[in-house]
Amino acid sequence: MAERPLEHVVELAGGVGGARLAHGIQAHLGAGLTVVVNTGDDLERHGLLVCPDHDTVLYTLAGLDNRALGWGLEGETFANAAMLAGYGEETWFRLGDRDLATHIVRTRRVREGQRLTDVARHLGASLGVAARILPMTENAVRTKIRTDDGWLDFQTYFVRLHQAPEVRELRYDGLAEATATPEVEAALAAAEAIVVAPSNPFLSLAPILGVAGIRAGIDAARARGVPVAAISGIIGGRAVKGPADRILVSLGHEASALGVARIHAPWIDLFVIDTVDAALAPAIRELGLDVLVADTLMDTDEARARVAGTVLEAVTALRR
Amino acid sequence: MAERPLEHVVELAGGVGGARLAHGIQAHLGAGLTVVVNTGDDLERHGLLVCPDHDTVLYTLAGLDNRALGWGLEGETFANAAMLAGYGEETWFRLGDRDLATHIVRTRRVREGQRLTDVARHLGASLGVAARILPMTENAVRTKIRTDDGWLDFQTYFVRLHQAPEVRELRYDGLAEATATPEVEAALAAAEAIVVAPSNPFLSLAPILGVAGIRAGIDAARARGVPVAAISGIIGGRAVKGPADRILVSLGHEASALGVARIHAPWIDLFVIDTVDAALAPAIRELGLDVLVADTLMDTDEARARVAGTVLEAVTALRR
């Protein structure tokens, strides 16, 4: 094949799965990768602005992600959290001593009037990240979860209650007023391919797609012949990480790669499923999508780069 | 002697010397001690409100002071500071991982509208401190130091430049507008004795005495027969800690216990000097002061309690 190599790829990402895929793509494209991250699970803790999805992507792209915990920084310590607890602070959302520096720097800069986008650039540059990480919007968006006990903040559901309650309904406070930043719009306009991470369709991707300008930017890119590929976060009917499988069922969908494909079908071209789900390929093709069957687990650096390479190769072939 | 035991003592304190004396007094009086602390060396670091003198007193009274470093918390770690440095933050004013919790909690509460006095009460209660620690005022006071290179922030002079520059002049921004809190006024009104820590006369005590209502409260107490005792922070012509000896000379005073006594003479009754300075006692008595000669070094818990006990006994005898 003699296709032009991809130079500009945009990834839409939530937390861990998005971060791992981004790490793999960065290994191929370096600064050619722009990651648009969900900010719907951002929160204030102890008066500090915490952006969990952004920071997971940041630390992973910097090679500082904690592989053992699956979140936070490698070699993290928690002396501060113990002291905060002594002051009666709730510490179920544990902030590590090093991680805290990110929130302190971010909070000060935002209070001084800097845009979250500019703060993200500073953080990424400081940690030597080649790719660009863009918050989906400058507007505050806060995902809320309705359970049988009423509406919960996202992290109350996700971290404090360990995603145990059944999800009955979702809403995204502030999303109706949120607009894409000029940087996100420019990235989509320059994209040669768009890759959608194996992130939770409702908790991570829906808020990104709901930001005014992002879905329009994706549609405009497709109209130019730019392929959009999404990777299933459901393998063998189960979420690789997190509660996506259960939420799919709760909200009336099928907990399978096919169920996810049906949700994304209107705005993507290629759906990537794991080899264990190969039997679902015909049904997904019937949705009008191309299907790539591949090993999609990204449990090592090598697997991240391999999965990313496979997806990049497939979208390159789809470019018009 | 059959004097009534002291129940309410107010101490005026700067940092380390004030904290050690307070620890000694607390050993005798527990909740009967109220420490009025200097806030002139408070500062913002990384967007957080830091109150060094208050926190030194807090940690020392809680038994958590770091004896090896002479500042900060026992067993402190600095993972956060290393990460902050990675983000390009100036970290010459190093905040430990546990110490940082104090500033985070304080900053959030103050931003939410709480008074510094109420925050101090929460911090003290959380760490099990028996004595009461009162910021001298709710108004922002910031001590500035003029050196041959111009005016410096207090901590730039004190920490960053290790007190190396000659001090030419001092000013206390905000002090002219600062008023004593109702808590400080009530403590002075209820005091049966007032003890002035061996703190720096210019950097620690002058701002406290400059707060409207504090000097008047001390004078009113003396008029009621309440004795005021001050302890020399200069022993054998040298400051026990810090630059007081050099500042005394720079500002035209004598670097000796006698030089300090002359500064305090107008508003105190008893001056406590170290045994090595016993020869200065007659000259100090000529200033109209009672003199107590005692071992005043507070390098151990036992020494703190002994020095405090000696001073409390002397002021008890002076009560009218």
Which residue carries 């959608």 as its tokens? A196
* A318 close to B (CB below 8 A): no
Mean pLDDT of A20-33: 97
Which residues of chain B have a CB within 8 Å of the CB of A111?
47
pLDDT for A175 equals: 98
Domains in chain B, please, with CATH? 9-318 (3.40.50.10680)
* A110 close to B (CB below 8 A): no
What's the average pLDDT block by block, 10 residues per block, for chain B (320 residues)? Answer: 79 94 97 98 97 97 90 94 97 95 98 98 98 98 96 93 94 98 98 97 97 98 97 95 92 96 98 98 98 95 96 94
pLDDT for B1 equals: 44
Which residues of chain B have a CB within 8 Å of the CB of A104?
46-48, 80, 84
User: Closest approach of chain B CAs to the CA of A49, in angstroms?
Assistant: 12
Which residues of chain B have a CB within 8 Å of the CB of A47?
104, 107-108, 111-112
pLDDT in tens, A165-203: 999 999 999 999 999 999 999 999 999 999 999 999 999
Q: What is the pTM of this model?
A: 0.94
pLDDT for B71 equals: 84
pLDDT in tens, A117-143: 999 999 999 999 999 999 999 999 999
* A86 close to B (CB below 8 A): yes
User: How many Cα atoms occupy the beta-carbon half-sphere of B102 within 13 Å?
Assistant: 28
* B121 close to A (CB below 8 A): no
Mean pLDDT of A59-81: 93
CA distances from B56 to A52, B16, B97, B123 (A): 34, 6, 15, 12
pLDDT for A218 equals: 98
How far is B54 from B317, CA to CA, in rounded Å? 30
* A80 close to B (CB below 8 A): yes
Contact B77 A79 (CB under 8 A): yes
Would you mind telling me the total number of residues written for chain A in this entry? 320
Q: What is the DSSP string of B84-145?
A: HHHTT---SS---TTHHHHHHHHHHHHHTT--HHHHHHHHHHHTT--SEEEESBSS--EEEE
pLDDT for B3 equals: 66
How far is B98 from B136, CA to CA, in rounded Å? 25
Which residues of chain B have a CB within 8 Å of the CB of A76?
79
Mean pLDDT of A241-263: 95
Which residue carries 């920071």 as its tokens? A55
Nearest alpha carbon to residue B18 among B32, B34, B6, B42: B34
Report phi then psi at B6, rounded to 5. Answer: -70, 135
* B113 close to A (CB below 8 A): no
How far is A233 from A241, CA to CA, in rounded Å? 8
DSSP letter (8 states) at residue B3: P
pLDDT above 90: residue A34: yes
* B127 close to A (CB below 8 A): yes
- A121 close to B88: Cβ distance less than 8 angstroms: no
Q: Considering only alpha carbons, which residue of chain A is nearest residue B85?
A: A101
Contact A88 B126 (CB under 8 A): yes
How far is A297 from A309, CA to CA, in rounded Å? 13
pLDDT above 90: residue A241: no
Which residues of chain B have a CB within 8 Å of the CB of A62?
none
Q: Which of the four pLDDT bands, split at 50, 70 and 90, describes residue A286?
A: very high
pLDDT for A78 equals: 96
Which residue carries 């810090």 as its tokens? B242
Q: What is the DSSP string of B198-239?
A: S--IIIIIHHHHHSBTHHHHHHHHHHTT--EEEE-SEETTEE
* A88 close to B (CB below 8 A): yes
Q: Residue A125, SS3?
A: helix
Q: Considering only alpha carbons, which residue of chain A is nearest residue B104?
A: A46
How far is A137 from A110, CA to CA, in rounded Å? 14
How far is B80 from A98, CA to CA, in rounded Å? 5
Contact A79 B83 (CB under 8 A): no
* B47 close to A (CB below 8 A): yes
Q: Residue A147, SS3?
A: strand
User: Closest approach of chain B CAs to the CA of A87, in angstroms?
Assistant: 5
* B90 close to A (CB below 8 A): no
What is the percent of chain A with per-residue pLDDT over 70, rounded to a whole number? Answer: 99
Contact A97 B83 (CB under 8 A): yes
